């Protein structure tokens, strides 16, 4: 009888980083399954058909509740059961209840990608913060292991919660097909982007670090170079422009764009001369890997998470020294950083992550 690893896939069509991670990890778990092992899925009622999204699943078990109700039930520990066995989630969404790992062989493991609910909870919607905190209380009580993407986040998580030796570090990766779209030029024209620009992602939330990023950009606005900020919530464009002006970037040189789909984001990043990030919270930096894959020089603030992930594939500097670092990335080191970034990003793969998930469950 095969050993079955059951993965929670609570969303597929939202386009969020967590939705993509859940699907990509499930696909990789199928590709890397050891002999005698298979993968099936746990999904909420009303979920999209997974037949083409995640081919190779042995089965799909549909919970009797829609996603919103299912997640609320899991938070409270009162959701209808979805069975035991080996359960892994690429997020906090999981049926965290009392189970018998020793005698019945039941295991439940979850993934924590960021600590925003604890470090900067005021920047999150109240319901999102409450759900994450509620799920972490259940994680502490019932999870057999907690996966985090960096050692820096593992250290912070251990400071916040009594998890003992249950924390495991397994980095994330980019979607297998993430690349520059063939119509990149047309996409940039549709987004009305300038000819030369530095790319930044973020919102006005303090932990996104836009103020520090804008100060670095302001010191490097030579010629017709401008700045494109993507991921700006609708209605926050004026606040972003104000932050830029306070940092010395003229309003006319700031181009705020909303959250972009994968192809548009790749087009924006690939057309930039550099990508700057000064995010201060403990969170996996998805855009850093995207920029590196596309050969865009990366300049990042010297935080524990960014320092760990950027590695030798970019320039890391204190927030106050990002200006000179950016000047270096735009000038003498630009060509080298394009190559180093691409080489560095290749170390992060979903197949590698999946192999470590299989190993984790074997060890448990």
135-164 tens-digit pLDDT: 999 999 999 999 999 999 999 999 999 999
CB-side neighbour CA atoms (13 Å) of 8 = 28
**Share of residues in the chain with pLDDT > 70 (%):** 99
Q: Does pLDDT of 186 surpass 70? A: yes
CA angle 248, 216, 172 (to 5 degrees): 135
CA angle 114, 119, 124 (to 5 degrees): 75
pLDDT for 242 equals 97
**Coil, helix or strand for 299?**
strand
Q: How many residues are there in the chain?
A: 364
pLDDT for 169 equals 98
CA–CA distances in Å: residue 204 to residues 201, 240, 255: 10, 6, 14
Confidence band for 109, pLDDT divided at 50, 70 and 90: very high
Q: Are residues 226 and 245 in the same domain?
A: yes
pLDDT for 152 equals 98
**Coil, helix or strand for 85?**
coil
Q: Does pLDDT of 1 surpass 90? A: no
Domain CATH code at residue 213: 3.40.50.2000
Name the domain count of the chain. 2
pLDDT for 362 equals 94
**Coil, helix or strand for 6?**
strand
Phi, psi of 300 (to 5 degrees): -135, 150
Q: Across the chain, which distance is largest between two alpha carbons, in Å? A: 69
pLDDT for 52 equals 86
- Between helix 210-218 and helix 237-246 the angle, nearest 10°, is 50
CA distance 185 to 316: 30
Buried b (16+ CB within 10 A) or exposed e, 275-303: bbbbbbbbbbbbbbbbbbbbbbbbbbbbb
111 pairs with which residues across the strands?
147
pLDDT for 98 equals 85
**Coil, helix or strand for 214?**
helix
pLDDT for 103 equals 65
Q: Are residues 216 and 291 in the same domain?
A: yes
CB 301 within 8 A of CB 212: yes
Confidence band for 3, pLDDT divided at 50, 70 and 90: very high
Residue partners of 307: CB distance under 8 A and separation at least 6: 152, 300, 316
Q: Are residues 209 and 125 in the same domain?
A: no
CA terminus-to-terminus distance, the chain? 19
Q: Are residues 150 and 274 in the same domain?
A: no
CB-side neighbour CA atoms (13 Å) of 245 = 8
Q: Are residues 157 and 218 in the same domain?
A: no
Residue 271's CB is within 10 A of a number of other CB atoms, namely 22
pLDDT for 219 equals 96
Q: Does pLDDT of 29 surpass 70? A: yes
Q: Does pLDDT of 170 surpass 80? A: yes
For residue 102, tell me if it sits in a domain. Answer: yes
Residue partners of 92: CB distance under 8 A and separation at least 6: 110, 111, 112, 132, 135, 136, 139
Residue 246's CB is within 10 A of a number of other CB atoms, namely 12
Q: Are residues 165 and 20 in the same domain?
A: yes
Q: Are residues 242 and 108 in the same domain?
A: no
Average pLDDT, rounded, for the chain: 95
CB 174 within 8 A of CB 293: yes
For residue 135, tell me if it sits in a domain. Answer: yes
Q: Are residues 188 and 167 in the same domain?
A: no
For residue 58, tell me if it sits in a domain. Answer: yes
Range from 92-101, 106-115, 270-279 carrying the lowest mean pLDDT: 92-101
CA distance 289 to 153: 17
Q: Does pLDDT of 81 surpass 80? A: no
For residue 179, tell me if it sits in a domain. Answer: no
CA–CA distances in Å: residue 129 to residues 117, 132, 135, 234, 252: 5, 5, 10, 21, 36
Residue partners of 85: CB distance under 8 A and separation at least 6: 4, 6, 105, 106, 107
pLDDT for 133 equals 96
Confidence band for 177, pLDDT divided at 50, 70 and 90: confident
Tokens of 195: 């000819």
* Domain region containing 147: 3-173+349-363
Q: Are residues 209 and 286 in the same domain?
A: yes
What confidence tens digit (pLDDT) does each residue in 233-280 have?
999 999 999 999 999 999 999 999 999 999 999 999 999 999 999 999
298 pairs with which residues across the strands?
275
Confidence band for 80, pLDDT divided at 50, 70 and 90: confident
Residue partners of 66: CB distance under 8 A and separation at least 6: 44, 45, 46
């Amino acid at each position: 009888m095969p050993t079955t690893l059951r993965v929670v896939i609570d969303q597929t069509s939202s386009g969020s980083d967590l939705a993509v991670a859940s699907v990509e990890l499930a696909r990789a778990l199928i590709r890397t399954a050891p002999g005698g092992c298979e993968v099936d899925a746990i999904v909420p009622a009303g979920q999209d058909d997974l037949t083409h999204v995640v081919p190779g699943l042995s089965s799909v078990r549909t919970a009797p509740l829609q996603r919103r109700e299912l997640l609320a039930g899991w938070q409270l520990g009162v959701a209808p059961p979805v069975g035991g066995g080996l359960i892994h989630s690429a997020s906090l969404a999981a049926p965290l209840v009392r189970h018998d790992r020793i005698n019945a062989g039941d295991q439940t493991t979850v993934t924590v990608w960021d600590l925003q609910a604890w470090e900067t909870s005021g920047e999150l919607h109240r319901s999102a913060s409450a759900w994450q905190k509620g799920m972490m209380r259940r994680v502490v009580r019932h999870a057999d292991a907690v996966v985090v993407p960096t050692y820096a986040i593992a250290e912070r998580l251990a400071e916040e919660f009594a998890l003992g030796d249950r924390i495991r570090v397994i980095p994330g990766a980019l979607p297998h097909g993430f690349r520059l779209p063939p119509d990149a030029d047309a996409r940039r024209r549709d987004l009305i982007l300038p000819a030369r620009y530095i790319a930044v992602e973020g919102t006005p939330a303090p932990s996104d670090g836009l103020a520090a990023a804008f100060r670095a950009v302001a010191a490097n606005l030579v010629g017709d170079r401008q700045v494109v900020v993507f991921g700006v919530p609708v209605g926050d464009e004026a606040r972003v422009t104000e932050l830029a002006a306070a940092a010395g970037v003229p309003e006319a040189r700031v181009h705020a764009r909303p959250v972009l789909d994968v192809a548009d984001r790749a087009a924006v990043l690939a057309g930039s001369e550099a990508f700057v990030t000064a995010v201060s919270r403990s969170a996996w930096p998805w855009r850093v890997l995207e920029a590196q894959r596309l050969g865009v020089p990366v300049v990042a603030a010297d935080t524990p998470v960014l320092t760990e992930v950027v590695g030798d594939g970019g320039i890391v500097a204190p927030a106050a020294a990002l200006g000179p670092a950016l000047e270096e990335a735009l000038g003498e080191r630009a060509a080298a950083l394009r190559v180093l970034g691409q080489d560095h990003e290749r170390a992060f793969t979903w197949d590698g992550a999946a192999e470590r998930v299989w190993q984790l469950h074997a060890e448990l």
